[in-house]
Structure 1
Amino acid sequence: MSTVDKQLEEVRETIDEEVPRQITVTDVTYEGPELVIYTRDPREFATDGDLVRRLASKLRKRITVRPDPDVLTHPDEAESEIRELVPDDAAVSDIQFLADTGEVVIRAKKPGQVIGRRGETLREITKTTGWTPEVERTPAIDSPTVKNVRTFLTQERDDRRDILERVGRQIHRDPMSSEEWVRVTTLGGCKEVGRAAYIISTADTRILVDCGDKPGERTEQPYLDIPEAIGSGATSLDAVVLTHAHLDHAALVPLLYENGYDGPIYCTEPTRDLLGLMTLGYIDSAAMTGQQRPYGTEMVREAVKHCIPLEYGDVTDIAPDVKLTLHNAGHVLGSSVVHFHIGDGLYNVAFSGDIDYDSSRLLDGAVNEFPRVETLVLESTYGGRNDYQTDQDDSERKLRERLQDVAETDGTLLIPTDAVGRPQELLVVLEELMDSGTVPEMPVYLDEMIWEATAVHTSYPEFLRNDIESRLQSDDENPFLAAQFTPVGDDEERRELAQRDEASVVLSTPGMCTPGPVRTWLSALSDDPDNTLVFVDKQARGTLGKQIQGGADSITIDGETVPIEMRVETIDGFSGHADRQGLENFVKTMHPRPEKVLCVDGDQSATQDLSSSLYHDYNLRTFTPENLETFRFI
């Protein structure tokens, strides 16, 4: 009998001792980080609302209870009973029964009404029907991405259960070594913007944090072929942890599965969905520009299938000697600061990912309070000594002025931006300015990926600020449903819209003007001085955006020379990144303050400036790693 089987046998004995005699437990197994209890008496479990909590406390594990299929009410009868139990105000849009797990997925516009006070309605559903309810929000904007991900995971539930059971056994195996050490190896993202990828290793475990591309340099991938990564075989990785879905952190995650990785990806639920959206767009962009696709669509599906979503604040075992907790990073929907607790109090490492320390229109600021942190791996995108961004009010004032300019000249305001984060922030501001009459109403054209990413936001309002969450739940107040917002699907439509003699706004991807729809808009708009180009994202070296921002008179797009006669400006307060002061404040107020800081994900001057400042001002040991450096902490 294996060690894990012995553990499960002991767990089963404890459960049998704790549950009332009238409850029959038929199986106990690990599925990912959770302990799953199968029972013939789900109604009895539901009757005692504290039973699962007591078991979780006793066993110190996350527990899910599932019914045996043969004790379930027939789906037709169960659906009628569920609809009677759930208030009409919940606006249930779909009910789906998963017989193999005994779960019923209830999709509703107002999930809280389905859940009930302290989960009372959910327990009543189980007591009445035997099914275990899972509640999902019906998006205010129909999202093919969310729908496709959920449908795909339902179709692949057998494979997914096999994956989860295998991962669960891997997590709960006995440690293989008595040695104690912690190392971080940099595979990318050092003294450069993009291709973020880091390995955190112990004597037992190897975990990859992020796996992104370098904007404008698709050939410069993270150093995945070294022994610490997948050079000794992709199966040597125990897990991947994804901070967020932007391509400079996530573009090459599916490539891992192309190279034989078959393990879990830990991230938030919106990051999982956005990973699918962004990586499919990434390989489509490569195909359209004649470049070789780094992986196929099947690998994107594999990545999504292997995702294990976690909630902010949940402490989760992901290896025998590693616990993971995700915290809000304030950068984009679902973005995370990832915290690793290693060993039995041995060491703690936090990776900031990309952070915004101050609250924005959409998101609360990044969390920087942890039980313990000895080392912080900190982004430095705006870490240079002069990298001070304008505040929110000033940024919105500048945007308002540019909108008034194009309104007077019947010009177009073109804003290159990534699909996730900045455009949704801008849409909230644009809706408010036009709705209040501060600027004239004008059409706002959104490239299709931006519209789809916005739809994903409406599926997860609980990840947004409370005021925005409330607005998204009301059709009358939802800022993303403004009549001025129009999605645009193809280049022919873009060229046609660009010729219209009317004031308008265009939000187009990608933010650094690397190959994508924005280049079509640039070709059509750049020779007219009545038009304005506004950068809101960091422009990395070597990108077309950086060239334009630097004052180029002309650019080359698809072999043609395009004059730049439109006005070019930068409004940096919408970046979604903490500026120099924000990064310092994040560290200054961090509790507890780390002993060491590795400054990464910024160009050489930014990382060095930030490292020097943190060393001199806060007496911290700071480092500016090179790619392929390894740091040992224990």
Structure 2
Amino acid sequence: MIKRETSVDEILKEMREIINQMVPKEAKITEVEFEGPELVIYVKNPEVLMRDGELIKNLAKVLKKRISVRPDPDVLLPPEKAEELIKELVPAEAEITNISFDPSVGEVLIEAKKPGLVIGKNGETLRLITQKVYWAPRVIRTPPLQSQTIYSIRQILQSESKDRRKFLRQVGRNIYRKPELKSDWIRITGLGGWREVGRSALLLQTNESNVLVDFGINVAALHDPKKAVPHFDAPEFQYVLKEGLLDAIIITHAHLDHSGLLPYLFRFNLFDGPIYTTPPTRDLMVLLQKDFIEIQQSNGVPPLYRPKDIKEVVKHTITLEYGEVRDISPDIRLTLHNAGHILGSSIAHLHVGNGLHNIAVTGDFKFIPTRLFEPANSRFPRLETLIMESTYGASKDYQLPRDEAEKRLMEVILRTIKRGGKVLIPAMSVGRSQEIMMVLEEYARIGGMEVPVYLDGMIWEATAIHTAYPEYLSRHLREQIFHEGYNPFLSEIFHPVANSNERKDIIESREPAIIIASSGMLVGGPSVEYFKNLASDEKNSVIFVSYQAEGTLGRRVQRGLREIPVAGESGKTEVIKVNMEVHTIDGFSGHADRRELINYVARVKPRPERVITVHGETQKCLDLASSIHKKFSISTRAPNNLDAIRLK
């Protein structure tokens, strides 16, 4: 340990000498330190560095590090005084709605309805704020829907700022513990999600580093812990956890099968390092993890983790925007790219060693434009191994074209409404719900549909998070929101369901309605309650718009079972008679279908030397791997869980 500390201190000493030569003395540098994947320079006069827009860029080139400049904590005005001054400096017309402080990074977040007025002409107002309050200002547009999740995350980061800074410094020293390290070998092991859908977890190891990509839970298999959680019994994983050698965890997106078991690691002190993901993924995974706890409790099952464990996830998460390159260990560099699956979903590109090997892990991805997102990124600086999902990898797994899917959706809805019935659309809170919302909003606006659309479960809160990150949405949606001044998420047809009493009123009402409720597979959540109460009436319809995993209630309904035994509230088994119409419209999936998967391999640049197919039922992984090999003459594999593959 002493040797590592000395090595880092020597690196910092050399860097500080270079920084002192390049930075004007009047900036008054007080400290230079690694914090997470960044080199942080603390100064007493940050406005000096703001005058020269090229200085930090030049420093980054010379030092070959991502650099942040922060005000020395001693010069920061007290938050109350700083807030008062900011409100004096910013024109009232900007309509500031919230000011919050993050002492761990010396940053003040200013939310305003007109952010341009906070920034000022050529950034003049921002510079003035920096000069007067010293906090580094970050300006965002006020989201039209307030998210309790985002608010609570900010509160955690603010209240835990001292611990957070200490944590970031530990991470930084761990990342840069060995300079100019060259890796000798790379190995990956499937801990979950190989030849199956659910509990995705991949362990990547080099002679110096250990990194996890995703750590999910299979909610459809909670009755069987051996199938619900990743393989803790893998010898290499046991060793890494026992010795505290896990450098980092990367989360590709928020769905529980990719992020749902993270808090478990903190509950049992199995990990104390950094989690890397995009800002929207951090917020959404916290929302879904909290919801998972509540569903377990409502079903009388002891939760796998506690709210305070989710708080630890927040404290340990380092967010990255798309395209930002960051060192996450001595020999691994990470870049996240758009995956087009859900808000903030990413393809993780890992540059290992000094040019030794490059890996892209797609997570779940979509390779056509949707109403919500642009297609997945397919261009990388370098790429030798592609690890890709195979959810719809079989030769006949072709989804309907999106316009045809939307047409069929509306046909079923209008037919059901005409006969006075209700339409239940079970959907994941994140992703499919918002996609369906956009279809219904456009039809109501253009076609005049007037029935209410009820949103139940976590859907409204997830939608609020979507409105907080418009820059992650499709070009078309951004155009509507920013240039046309219309936000389709705020349409008057949408009605959030606040509680069980409102849910009961909707069920008992004789008026037709559309209900979008989580979960998407009828595994817990309000969608199950709606289904139980609406299934017997032949006037009603249920429409499945997303993947139904084996073993779920949704899969049994989808298969056409007309009498389904389920556990009742008293614990006794009750039989649900399914008289309602059952429809599956698969064109709305956030997963790439067979055509998209093949097209992705055809278009990805540079062409990989090896493709590994995961995240799909056994036959789908095998089918896709075989087809890619035959079509592109690329080496392919469809490994099992616990298989270890040497990449280099």
Same fold (TM over 0.5): yes
Preserved contact between residue 137 and residue 460 of structure 1 (Cα < 8 Å): no
Map of 1:466 onto structure 2? 475
Q: Which residue of 1 aligns with 2:300?
A: 290
Q: Could you tell me the percent identity over the aligned residues?
A: 45
- Quote the RMSD (CA, aligned, Å): 2.0
Deviation, 1:439, is 5.1
- Cα separation, partners in 2 of 1:57 and 1:114, compared to 1, 3 Å: farther
Q: Which amino acid aligns with 2:14?
A: E
- The SS at the match of 1:30 is strand
Which of 598, 605, 608 in structure 1 is aligned with 2:622? 608
1:87 to 1:395, Cα distance in 2 relative to 1, 3 A: farther
CA distance in 2, matches of 1:89, 1:610: 56
Q: Distance in 1 between matches of 2:138 and 2:485?
A: 28
Which secondary structure state, in structure 2, belongs to the residue aligned with residue 27 of structure 1?
A: strand
Change (3 A) 1:133 1:335: same
- Aligned partner of 2:522 in structure 1 is 513
Output the CA distance in 2 between the equivalents of 1:451 and 1:320.
41
Deviation sequence 1:193-243 (CA, Å, 0-9, x none): 111110111100000011111241022211023232245425221000000
Residue of structure 2 in register with 1:374 after alignment: 384
Q: Deviations over 1:260-285 (max 9, x none)?
A: 20000000001001111001111111
Q: Deviations over 1:428-463 (max 9, x none)?
A: 111110111x25211111113011100110111111
What TM-score do you get using the length of structure 1 for normalisation? 0.96
Q: Which residue is 2:570 aligned to?
A: none
Contact 1:355/1:577 (8 A) holds in 2: yes
> Which residue, out of 2, 13, 35, partners 1:9?
13
Aligned CA distance change for structure 1 residues 134 and 224 (closer, same or farther; 3 Å): farther
Letter of the 2:215 counterpart: C
1:562 is aligned to 2:557 = no
Q: Which residue of 1 aligns with 2:199?
A: 195
Higher mean alpha-carbon deviation, 127-136 vs 69-78, is at 69-78
Name the amino acid aligned to 1:616: K
Residues 492 and 475 (structure 1 numbering): CA distance in 2 closer, same or farther, change over 3 Å? farther
Q: Provide the C-alpha distance between the structure 1 equivalents of 2:448 and 2:216, rounded to a whole number of angstroms.
A: 39
**Contact 1:519/1:557 (<8 A) preserved:** no
Kindly state the Cα deviation for residue 557 of structure 1 after the two structures are TM-superposed.
2.6
Mapping 1:175-254, distance limit 5 Å: 180-218=184-222, 219=225, 220=227, 221-233=229-241, 235-254=244-263
Structure 2 residue identity aligned to 1:32: G
Preserved CA contact (<8 Å) 2:101 2:158: no
SS at match of 1:216: helix
**Matching of residues 88-127 of structure 1 within 5 Å:** 90-98=94-102, 101-111=105-115, 113-115=117-119, 121-127=125-131
Aligned partner of residue 577 in structure 1, secondary structure: coil
* Residue 584 (structure 1) aligns with: 598
Displacement of 1:316 after TM fit? 0.5
Aligned ranges 1:423-434 → 2 under 5 Å: 423-434=433-444
Q: What amino acid does structure 2 have at the position aligned with 1:312?
A: Y
* Contact 1:458–1:472 (CA under 8 A) maintained in structure 2: no
Q: How many residues align?
A: 633
In structure 1, C-alpha distance between the alignment counterparts of 2:49 and 2:76, rounded to whole Å: 14
More displaced stretch, 562-571 vs 287-296: 287-296
Among 137, 152, 165, the residue aligned to 1:148: 152
Letter in 1 for 2:330: P
Q: 1:491, 1:520 within 8 Å by CA — same for their partners in 2?
A: no
Task: State the distance in 1 between where 2:210 and 2:279 align.
Answer: 23
- C-alpha separation in 2, matches of 1:248 and 1:463: 22
- Amino acid in structure 2 at the alignment position of 1:346: L
Please state whether the residue corresponding to 1:236 is helix, strand or coil: coil
- CA contact under 8 A between 2:210 and 2:240: conserved in structure 1? no
Structure 1 unmatched runs, 5+: none
Contact 1:140 1:475 in 2 (8 A): no
The residue that corresponds to 2:465 in the other structure is 456
Any stretches of 5+ residues in structure 2 without a counterpart?
568-572
Alignment counterpart, residue 72 of structure 2, candidates 68, 72, 75: 68
SS at match of 1:22: helix
Alpha-carbon displacement from aligned partner over 1:519-578 (angstroms, at most 9, x marks no partner): 100111001111111001111111111111111012123221010100001111111111
1:280-429 pair list within 5 angstroms: 280-429=290-439
SS in 2 for 1:233: helix
Give yes or no for contact 2:183–2:354 (8 Å, CA) kept in 1.
no
| CA distance in structure 2 between the partners assigned to 1:380 and 1:93 by the alignment | 44
Corresponding residue for residue 269 of structure 1:
279
Contact residue 185 and residue 206 of structure 2 kept, 8 A:
yes
Matched residue, 2:289: 279
- Within 2, Cα distance between the matches of 1:268 and 1:131? 24
Cα distance, 1:377–1:361 mapped onto 2, change above 3 Å: same
CA displacement at 1:296 relative to structure 2: 1.1
Cα contact 1:230–1:236 (8 A) shared by 2: no
3-state DSSP class of the match of 2:516? strand
Q: Secondary structure at the match of 1:28?
A: strand
Residue 552 (str. 1) matches residue 561 (str. 2): yes
| Cα distance in 2 for residues equivalent to 1:565 and 1:508 | 20
CA distance in 2, matches of 1:175, 1:75: 39
Q: Cα offset for 1:87? A: 5.2
Q: Which range is displaced more, 306-315 or 65-74?
A: 65-74
| Structure 2 CA distance for partners of 1:396 and 1:118, relative to 1, 3 Å | farther
Q: Deviations over 1:377-401 (max 9, x none)?
A: 1000011111100111101101111
Counterpart Cα distance in 1 of 2:645 and 2:465: 38
- Paired AA for residue 500 in structure 1: S
* Greater alpha carbon shift after TM alignment, 597-606 vs 49-58: 49-58
Work out whether residues 399 and 587 of structure 2, in 8 Å CA contact, stay in contact via their aligned partners in 1: yes
Task: Find the aligned partners of 2:364 and 2:588 in 1 and give their Cα distance.
Answer: 14
Contact 2:182 2:353 in 1 (8 A): no
Of 465, 488, 503 in structure 1, the residue corresponding to residue 512 of structure 2 is: 503
* 1:81–1:292 Cα change, 3 Å: closer
State the SS of the aligned residue for 2:27: coil
Which letter does structure 1 place at the counterpart of 2:601? Answer: V
1:116-150 CA deviation, whole Å, 9 max, x = no partner? 57755433432343221123442211110111111
Determine the C-alpha separation between the residues in 1 that align with 2:114 and 2:643: 49
8 Å CA contact 1:444, 1:506 repeated in 2: yes
Between the aligned partners of 2:81 and 2:163, the Cα distance in structure 1 is: 29
2-structure distance, mates of 1:14, 1:628: 47
- Give the letter for the 1:198 counterpart: L
Aligned partner letter, 2:171: V
Q: Comparing 51-60 with 574-583, which one deviates more in the overlay?
A: 51-60
Shift of 1:294: 1.1
Task: Say yes or no: does 1:24 pair with 2:2.
Answer: no
Aligned-pair distance for 1:18? 0.5
Matched, 1:633 2:647: yes
